[in-house]
Structure 1
């Protein structure tokens, strides 16, 4: 076998082409051709290291030398990316380490930059790689036009993307039920490396100092803080001295470098709720409430005040708290910011005014006497708010006392359909009253009674009262037993608790009130009657009866 050419990089040997007689025969590898660090390339591309070509291809080895052999050959252009001219280097791929530490020498560093990494460009990327400042290759690597380019990066200050306030107690960093916050910090894309720590520090109140390694995908860190680590108890107090800073490792100087500090201040978003008694009401409105606004749900975790400190308008029950963009019921746990006005800082003001529903006055439609049985049947309609609402029927007895009985309006109509309780649908009611022979005129009052469940104790609230007076049989123009007595004086309504009582009405004021309430006073003439007794069907419950004194005119 003769001498191999000095620049040989690939060899294809036949079955009988031996390069040496034994493992010590170096004759074919004269003139600087290395017999080490070769690789044997199989037909499928697999590369097997050949530590010594003499031993692999010698006659004495007893092995077939046939195959494709290659020694690594790499020529690199190095671009320091600093304005200087590129350098070209042919690597000594026969070195024992199969690696090369890229030299820095006296090359200049761009102003305001730190070194990040080398970018490798090669046609043989499966067998050549770069890690920090070290280039490595495996057997048979071959690229005469590889390139290394230095990558520099800035050291800009991180920015606070957002502060997200949460009300969920399960993730509170102090393990309590108070609100807390996620501070989300972004790192500029060209200012970070995969291992650079980001620091967030707060000098407010309890203080905070922590670091985080941004995720490779998001260039972002999330820090979890209690509210006390951000600001004090004052909702209008700014969070101040909240700073961010990036620490980076310079792979050229091999030291850590800290970037510029970023300082931030602001007000955490919160919700203010103000209350007003509403039209026609008196008393005192509930006190103003404040709470931090939960960012994801845009709600404030508040228990809404009830109307206990407010004096209701007469004959009215509390409906809801009315806001500029919606309404909310008392004692709700979460108040949506959308019903108020929110400014650019995320702070919301919700002005609530109590809305009231005036109870509709019942209507007496008929009052007919059954002379044979000495009884009168009174029928009418009511518009209840709740299924538990009742109609209270009051009338004098022949002994001079006043008797009241509570009845429940029908819940179904004549066709059997359910009637809603909505202050609009008319529910029929009726009652049969025994009449004594010696009883004179009988005045029947009907009042709708509801409960105001928004107030503590669910107090009763009365509607205005409808009245009909029974007498003889004259003047019944409609054959309903009712005779018009508009303008006839009657007793004032008994005031509800917390309401201002009515003054006794003159015919003029009564007529005006009856017109406003839609009440037509009518008169029924029946003969003298015995003390009143309720009639009821067999097996039915007897309505409750209450004797109350005759109101003073």
Structure 2
């Protein structure tokens, strides 16, 4: 055995007359190289097992062999495990009758001429039996022709045929795993090295939720050229090695649109409305923005709108003047707005829609700015204050508009000494605030201030009632004056709260002992009333009744307030007496006085008439002269 040989020089061998070189180098497993270029093989007929089990040889040059007379090539290269390529172009196998197990186990490339026919028995030990290709070279830099010839049987069908010439390879393969990154099943394809491969497209595959296709990423140590794009071509360099590669689809999440309530509009007699603003980043022409309100309930129409993005859009979209009732059922109620962005993936053809996400800003919840007015019962003796009310706050003016309520006719606030005069934000104020004292114009604007507005935009305001009290006059200080006709008059200061003007002024009614007086007159802050009947001197019950319109109460009824005193009334300058009955002396005195007065008036009248006659006579005399 020559297994111990490390080197062997046979370059000086003369083999011109040799006919049998079978087993010549068999089992020389220690040899790593062998030069047989000087061999003359023209007369050799048997080359069986010539290099059998030369397991150390990596390459072997037999391009100079003349095999025209060879009939036996059985196991010629069998056991040469490190030889992966053979150039048999010079071989003429026309006379070979035995090729059994001729080729080495790990052969991956060989070259044949038109005279080199290889029978299927020669491939018995071949390890690579799956795919054989025609190739451009048996060297390391090669390409292969697609499609493959096929397995060993198909290969033998070619190499034993009439046109066996060519280079044949069983190249290395790239095992390419394709991962679409959408949670679906992965797939694997085997690509021969030295070949081109058209990458698949994600078209027809499902997109991951909310994402559009971005790019293909090829990860491998196998050398290749080309750019990994859908339907693009890459070429793996020729190699006898096997490689692994991963083709991964990468996806880009659609940007979540941000939705916010930008402005709240409200005003007197105006339906509250809101402006909604959305902001999308990375939108493209044709993207569809969908915004809607989750508000729902009886008689509530939830708002829903879409916008198709066009060239030039900056990603900001506004919806103006949306009725607040479509966003929030009532002041103080929470609203919920949602926004999505949809895009047709140009690669997969699928329509992708983002899923609303609170953290991303595509779900907006909150409470629209609003103001609550609470009504105090301050100063009322009984009754119930009006219920509190809410109204949206205008974000530009920071005001909310309310209609002041009327007191309930049955159980509203009541005070024994007055009527409601309006409302104020200042406890203890003596007059209503501006705009809060006219029951015929009860629309008011309440301003939101930092002192009474919380971080959520809720303003709390308390209104206090202002009462109009002290309506009855002070009869104790009123002056009483006797009249010649035995009636009496009273006058005094008109109470400051008493109103003598307007469509429904207050009315003061005076009586004595139940008898009505003449209507009261008012002038310069003084009221004056005269009895209809003579009033004798002495103690009398005098009553003042004030009727004041309760204009801040439902139905606007009249409210009455009464004050009564007992006062001594003086006599007239001539004691008031009845015309019949009584003291005769008093009657005579009264008649004498009346007669004297009449005579004096008659004398004065006659004297005046005489003076006028004399004056007229003098005027006529001058005229005649």
- TM-score class, shorter-chain normalisation, is 0.3 to 0.5
User: Which entry has the higher C-alpha Rg, 1 or 2?
Assistant: 2
